[in-house]
Structure 1
Amino acid sequence: MTGITVVLITYKNIDNYRTQIGILKSLGYSNIKILITSLAYPMVAAFIGTILVFLPASGFQIIIVHTFANYFNLDFGKFIFDGLGFLYCLILTFGFLSVIAWVISGLTVIQAPIKLIKMNQ
């Protein structure tokens, strides 16, 4: 769900600023500088999405552990916040969503400035 949100936000953001991106390119700004400024909203959405992925997963951990505790004679102990798991979730999910946003933005920014300016008219 977060991936779709990042795709939509990125596409809408790039589409709204297509003419501005064309003008910035014609003024000599590099593609990287343009990408960084246009990816602020998608990166925030990706970070929030990463947090929203980890929290339900932690909640499901409790349910799954209690379900298996009914069938097996294992001492699972109490709920523990797994910092390493959160780090993996952050890196993988945020990385995946960031790659999606960079690809969509990159495909637009590499176009010729005149084409970007002309598309909105």
Structure 2
Amino acid sequence: MIEPGDLLLRWVSEQGAGALSDVKQGAWWLAGARCPEVEPGAPGRWLRDAVSLALLDIDWRNRRWCAAPPVLTQLPQARGLAVLTGSRTAAFERRLEQTMKDSPVELFRVPSVR
């Protein structure tokens, strides 16, 4: 089963951009469906976390959001280790899977329980 955070990331990635109220409403719906004991204010915190993780860009003043583009950033002195941030559309995931088959690339997905 897909984790709630991954599902929310896929949804915002496929949507691309929109009104802040819509993404908050989507987060509340997901919380109600998948996270039984969600506390008040959680969607706002989730959105701030998504900005911190470079998954979303939010214009708080104009109440708009957009999915950040996918970016691969090589970590300094890490022997080729890189971090992938940004949106994850289904098409992007297919290209990533194909790249892993065609080249010596390994993908480590870090699970999140939060």
TM-score by length of 2: 0.34
Q: Which has the higher helix share?
A: 1
Q: Which has the higher strand share?
A: 2
TM-score by length of 1: 0.33
Tell which has more relative contact order, 1 or 2 (C-alpha 8 A, sep 6+): 1
